[in-house]
Amino acid sequence: MLPTLYLHRCTIQGEINLMSVEAQADRLTVHGPLSLRGSTFANEVRMLGATIQSELSLASAKFNAPGDALSLDNANVGNWAKMTNGLRTTAIRRRIG
């Protein structure tokens, strides 16, 4: 288990799959899908200003941080964002653009 994973101003080509990590990914650019499906996060997940050119899957993910559990301010998703199938969060900050 990673204690913390920081992705700042990254460009990732292909799929990224973050299973059970804490993440700060402001201004992240993903040229494909981003799946956090089934992951559990104890601390805030930040993707401020992120661009995901394909799909974002949060299905069955658990965001348990106090305060802002999932921050997606000014994030853009190219196709769709799946937030079903048991998604649980204490708080989602703002919305996806």
Question: Which structural domain, as residue segments, surrounds residue 43?
Answer: 5-93
Tell how strand 76-77 and strand 51-52 pair up.
Answer: parallel
How far is residue 15's CA from residue 35's CA, in Å, rounded to a whole number?
A: 8
Look at residue 60 and tell me whether its pLDDT is greater than 80. yes
Q: Give the per-residue pLDDT at 41.
A: 80
Q: Give the per-residue pLDDT at 68.
A: 80
How far is residue 66's CA from residue 14's CA, in Å, rounded to a whole number?
A: 32
Number of domains composing the chain:
1
Collect all residues with Cβ–Cβ distance below 8 Å to 23 and sequence separation of at least 6. 4, 5, 6, 7, 41, 45, 46, 47
Q: Give the per-residue pLDDT at 27.
A: 86
Q: Give the per-residue pLDDT at 70.
A: 85
- Specify whether the CB–CB gap between 9 and 30 falls below 8 A: no
pTM of the model: 0.70
For the residues 20-40, what does the mean pLDDT come to?
Answer: 78
